[in-house]
């Protein structure tokens, strides 16, 4: 698993684990460097429509 996380990091790809069911598994994943997790212990996946995203910052106009 550590090799997979290292490869993903080198490629600039985020890692995520699915099906995390207990604290021990969560700790193992954190120790291995897995960036995100979901499952019964952490919380189920949520549809994008159910996620509140912060507003994008406003760009200053250049006046051109």
The domain ranges of the chain are 2-43
**Tokens describing residue 29:** 């994943």
Measured over the CA atoms of residue 28, residue 32, residue 33 and residue 39, the dihedral's sign is negative
pLDDT on residue 56? 75
Predicted TM-score of the model (pTM): 0.63
| Per-residue confidence in pLDDT tens, the chain, 64 aa | 889 999 999 999 999 999 999 999 999 999 999 999 989 998 877 777 777 777 777 776 666 6
Nearest to 41 by CA among 57, 8, 19, 59: 19
């Amino acid at each position: 698993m550590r090799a997979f996380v290292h490869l993903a990091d080198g490629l600039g790809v985020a890692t995520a684990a699915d099906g995390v069911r207990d604290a021990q598994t969560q700790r193992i994943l954190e120790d291995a460097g897995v960036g995100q997790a979901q499952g019964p212990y952490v919380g189920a996946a949520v549809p994008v429509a159910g996620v509140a995203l912060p507003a994008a910052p406003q760009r200053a106009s250049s006046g051109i």
